[in-house]
Amino acid sequence: MTPGVRPLIAGNWKMHGLRADGLALARAVAEGARGLDAELVVCPPATLIAAVAEALAGTPVAVGGQDCHAREKGPHTGDISAPMLADAGARYVIVGHSERRAGHGETDAMVRAKAAAAFAAGLVPIVCVGESEAERLAGQAEAVVTRQLAGSLPEGFAARGGVVAYEPVWAIGTGRTPTEADIAAMHGAIRAHLARTAPEGAGVRLLYGGSVKPGNARAILAQPDVDGALVGGASLVAADFLAIAAAAGVSAGR
């Protein structure tokens, strides 16, 4: 954990949740969030953002989107713009998740444009980076992640409060995680890259994502330069998500 940085725990619900389920989950998270020394964000499907934002109004839990278009508006059937997310009550948005990069062919340039659009709409982008298993086995993990950072972060990213999430592709939803040493090494490399590119890079919050759960959260969050977590499956269970958030506060020494 970076000294002086408040932990951020973001839950990516992905394509899960109808209205009743989503509202029940959001309310359970909000009920347990009071008194936790971490910032919590839930990122429901776009269909639930407005309803969840309304349910969470006045609570310590913020709402985020899972993706946005780079354009403010236009003929883009099925897409959602950053201003639309903000209008629905979102404060954050995930961009560049590996499932978007792989499944939708998103390039670093596209991610960069989306992050810039998020800033323009008053949202905080959470930019995801991460290597495949083949890239890690080939010894290319750090080079891949550094290249993604260089291509995906818009100008002024650090100064404007952007967040980076490191998610090794091979760990997402598999139950596998890198070793604590590997996580610390990658987060250190990301921090070094950010510090080289901007004076404010030392203060960017760096999240780890990829099979984070209550059982491993405390050890992961105790690593240097790990300032929180982007949580997938465990964010769909309020007790698990809250346990991870509680571990963040402990790891931060609060």
Binding-site sequence positions for substrate: 12-14, 173, 211, 232-233
Around 72, how many Cα atoms within 13 Å sit in the side-chain half-sphere? 4
**Cβ(190)–Cβ(217) under 8 Å?**
no
Give the Å distances, CA to CA, from 3 to 139, 190, 194: 30, 16, 17
Give me the active site residues, please: 97, 167
Phi, psi (degrees; rounded to nearest 5) at 9: -115, 115
Give the integer Cα–Cα distance in Å for 27 and 129: 30
- The per-type count for the chain, helices as H runs and strands as E runs, is 10, 8
Phi, psi (degrees; rounded to nearest 5) at 209: -140, 150
Distance of CA 88 to the CA centre of its chain: 19
**Cβ(237)–Cβ(206) under 8 Å?**
no
